């Protein structure tokens, strides 16, 4: 029998709700982005994010049900992101999901945001891609997992400091480009040369794995300010190699992501590589991972761009798998930032 899940996502700056049938068929997907509210600050302001979710979530959830053409009585479970994310924002989603599930006497399911990003990358696959290597690259996370199934993930490596998306956002700010930085840096990078500036690449000591982007970000800062970190931003007049900076920075991030992912795939003996999260929209990452992965004899899977960034389809989808596995939650379900 087919089951319909209502998914709710409020972990960061997207208020989203979706109805998904059988973990794959998307009946509706509604997203309210808060980008305009945060852009003026150059990043997400947690307090504003929480308040905005509170204002929007009920309307967004209603719309998801209306667009799916179903009432709450035709839903089989309510799934909600519980972690990781901004705690105030998560709590809005969790409390709303609890209220809906309790009122309609439905099972409640807590979903891990990162595992849902990985699930999103599998939703358009014609057959299950497991086992595989999953690279999750978003504004808050950069990590490699070994995934055996939608519900089994082993962490292989993570960033020591900034997430890849966070590095894009901070470099955008240094370049005087709008938030979110990924799309704006990437657009400027198309006009520059990726080999113009030799920004550093992190190498883990002793041949270990992992990522680090804070040194790269600092190098961009020093480059733009002519070695004087306290000089004003945007860059001093007369020096405008910002397109080359954007392209060379993007190249450094992409090289780190691709080489670590391929190393992990070889080490783990896995043929399939999934890439998920907002940075998976990046066209250079998509091209390079596909090119080098295929050269190495591996299948590389990226979700459509709308499934890379935060959405509730991935929450409802993974919620379906959790429901089938009997992993429902009690009314004491809580949110957690980690
Ligand atoms: O997955 P996501 O929507 O939210 C989190 O869970 O963090 O990812 C948002 C991140 C932002 O840092 C944004 O700058 C980055 O994804 N991003 C990109 C691109 N589009 C979005 N980074 C690089 N290139 C892009 N085209
Ligand atoms: Zn995300």
CATH code, domain carrying 73: 3.30.420.40
Q: In this structure, is residue 297 part of a structural domain?
A: yes
Closest CA to ligand 1's atom 3: 309
Upstream peptide bond of 185 is cis (omega within 30 degrees of 0) = no
- Report the alpha-carbon distance of residue 108 to residue 15 in Å, rounded: 19
How high is the pLDDT of residue 227?
Answer: 67
207 or 60, higher pLDDT: 60
Q: What mean pLDDT is reported for the chain?
A: 93
Claim to verify: residue 171 and residue 314 sit in the same structural domain: no
How high is the pLDDT of residue 216?
Answer: 95
Ligand of minimum distance to the alpha carbon of 276: 1
Q: Which residues form the domain of 243?
A: 128-302
Overall average pLDDT of the 99-119 stretch: 97
38 or 64, higher pLDDT: 64
pLDDT at 239 over 80: no
| HEC string for 220-252 | HHHHHCCCCCCCCCCCCCCCCCHHHHHHHHHHH
- Ligand 1 within 6 A of CB of 184: no
Backbone phi, then psi, for 140, in 5-degree steps? Answer: -110, -15
pLDDT at 237 over 80: no
Q: Ligand 1 test: best mutation among 159, 256, 278, 310, most atoms within 8 Å of CB?
A: 278
Overall average pLDDT of the 262-288 stretch: 97
Overall average pLDDT of the 64-76 stretch: 97
Claim to verify: residue 195 and residue 263 sit in the same structural domain: yes
Q: In this structure, is residue 334 part of a structural domain?
A: no
- Ligand 1 within 6 A of CB of 310: yes
* Residue 233 pLDDT grade (very low, low, confident, very high; cuts 50, 70, 90): low
The percent of residues above 90 in pLDDT, for the chain, comes to 85
Claim to verify: residue 172 and residue 264 sit in the same structural domain: yes
Q: In this structure, is residue 101 part of a structural domain?
A: yes
How high is the pLDDT of residue 159?
Answer: 94
Claim to verify: residue 246 and residue 143 sit in the same structural domain: yes
Q: In this structure, is residue 338 part of a structural domain?
A: no
Give the max Cα distance, the chain: 67
Lowest-confidence region among 1-5, 63-67, 153-157, 230-234:
230-234
- Report the alpha-carbon distance of residue 181 to residue 166 in Å, rounded: 8
Q: Are 88 and 49 in contact (CB under 8 A)?
A: yes
* Residue 127 pLDDT grade (very low, low, confident, very high; cuts 50, 70, 90): confident
* Residue 244 pLDDT grade (very low, low, confident, very high; cuts 50, 70, 90): very high
Q: In this structure, is residue 241 part of a structural domain?
A: yes
Q: Record the pTM.
A: 0.92
Number of domains in the chain: 2
Q: In this structure, is residue 330 part of a structural domain?
A: no
Q: Ligand 1 test: best mutation among 166, 168, 173, 258, most atoms within 8 Å of CB?
A: 168
pLDDT at 137 over 80: yes
Q: In this structure, is residue 336 part of a structural domain?
A: no
Claim to verify: residue 150 and residue 279 sit in the same structural domain: yes
- Ligand 1 within 6 A of CB of 303: no
How high is the pLDDT of residue 235?
Answer: 53
* CA-to-CA dists, residue 205 to 159, 218, 255, 291, angstroms: 14, 20, 18, 27
Claim to verify: residue 162 and residue 289 sit in the same structural domain: yes
Q: Are 44 and 103 in contact (CB under 8 A)?
A: no
Claim to verify: residue 115 and residue 151 sit in the same structural domain: no
How high is the pLDDT of residue 229?
Answer: 64
Tell how strand 272-276 and strand 152-158 pair up: unpaired
Claim to verify: residue 180 and residue 281 sit in the same structural domain: yes
Could you identify the atom of ligand 1 that is nearest to the CA of residue 14? 3
* Residue 59 pLDDT grade (very low, low, confident, very high; cuts 50, 70, 90): very high
Claim to verify: residue 265 and residue 313 sit in the same structural domain: no
Distance, CA 282 to ligand 1 centroid (Å)?
A: 8
How high is the pLDDT of residue 215?
Answer: 93
Claim to verify: residue 91 and residue 142 sit in the same structural domain: no
Claim to verify: residue 60 and residue 137 sit in the same structural domain: no
């Amino acid at each position: 029998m087919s089951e319909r899940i209502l998914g709710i996502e409020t972990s960061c700056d997207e208020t989203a709700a979706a109805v998904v049938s059988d973990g794959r068929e998307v009946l509706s997907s509604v997203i309210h982005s808060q980008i305009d509210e945060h852009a003026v600050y150059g990043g997400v302001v947690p307090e504003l994010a929480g308040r905005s979710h509170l204002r929007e979530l009920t309307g967004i959830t209603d719309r998801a049900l209306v667009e799916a053409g179903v009432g709450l009585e035709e839903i089989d479970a309510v799934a909600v992101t519980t972690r990781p994310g901004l705690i105030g924002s998560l709590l809005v989603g969790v409390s709303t999901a609890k209220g809906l599930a309790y009122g309609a006497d439905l099972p409640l399911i807590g979903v891990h945001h990162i595992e849902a990003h990985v699930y999103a990358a599998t939703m358009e696959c014609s057959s299950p891609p497991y086992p595989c290597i999953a690279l999750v690259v978003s504004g808050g996370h950069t990590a490699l997992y070994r995934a055996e199934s939608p519900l089994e993930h082993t962490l292989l490596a993570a960033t020591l400091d900034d997430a890849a998306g966070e590095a894009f956002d901070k470099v955008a700010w240094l370049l005087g480009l709008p938030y979110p930085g990924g799309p704006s840096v990437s657009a400027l990078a198309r006009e520059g040369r990726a080999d113009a500036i030799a920004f550093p690449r992190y190498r883990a000591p002793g041949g270990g794995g992992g990522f680090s982007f804070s040194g790269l970000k600092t190098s961009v800062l020093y480059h733009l300010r002519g070695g004087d970190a306290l000089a004003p931003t945007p860059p001093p007049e007369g020096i405008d190699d910002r397109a080359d900076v954007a392209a060379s920075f993007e190249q450094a991030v992409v090289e780190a992501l691709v080489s670590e992912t391929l190393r992990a795939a070889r080490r783990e003996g896995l043929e399939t590589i999934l890439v998920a999260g907002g940075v998976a929209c990046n066209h250079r990452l998509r091209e390079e991972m596909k090119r080098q992965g295929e050269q190495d004899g591996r299948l590389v899977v990226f979700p459509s761009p709308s499934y890379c960034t935060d959405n509730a389809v991935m929450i409802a989808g993974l919620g379906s798998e959790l429901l089938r596995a009997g992993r429902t939650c009690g009314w004491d379900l809580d949110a957690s930032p980690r």
